[in-house]
Amino acid sequence: MDIKAGDVKELRDKTGAGMMDAKQALVEANGSVDRAIELLRKKGQKIAAKKSDRDASEGLIGMYLHANGRVAAMVSLNCETDFVARTDQFKELANNLAMQVAAMNPKYLSPDNVPEEEKNKEKDIYREEMKDSDKPANIIEKIIEGKLEKYYAGTCLLRQSYIKEDSLTIEKLLTASIAKIGENIKINKFVRYSL
């Protein structure tokens, strides 16, 4: 199949993939840019899984101050080497994550960080909402789990939709960044200030 240079460039601009990876993804996707993006994301997840056990002790702090001066956020983002931490790509990721924290005000990094007491309180609220329904208990429990997932999507940074591209969660953004940068990347902690 003949792949156009313009399609390769478009795919590289959208994903940050290397030229050969972009071209190969387009060949596998029969020239479909959208399908190629999906293939590259799947490849990125495999790469991220391989790198997840590697030590990420370098990094930097990304910062964002809103134009009105009333909201600010900082994110401690770790990677494996100081070389990567100094790249524009890594700095941009850290600052975009700080902007995400400022805009979306997450309370926790992931569902694992939500205290059990809070999870149980949310489940009790959902059960109370469902008590008068005629649904079977197993269906109610599935609905409660679904509502809990929505709760995580609002309160846990990794589960939130990325403000710059809502088809991505922050978790998927990190996975794609790991594949693109080639190192393990982890959010260490974050803080948001507001007046």
**Assigned fold of 58-109+156-194:** Tetrahydropterin Synthase; Chain A (3.30.479)
- CATH number for 5-51 (one of 1.10.3430.10, 1.10.8.10, 3.30.70.260, 3.40.50.300): it is 1.10.8.10
Q: In this predicted model, what pLDDT tens digit does every residue of 125-157 receive, in sequence order? A: 888 888 788 888 888 888 889 999 999 999 999
Could you tell me the CA-to-CA distances from 77 to 46, 53, 91, 127, 128 in Å, in that order? 21, 16, 9, 37, 39
Q: Which of 149, 153, 151 is nearest to 166 (CA)?
A: 153
* pLDDT band for position 22 (cuts 50, 70, 90): confident
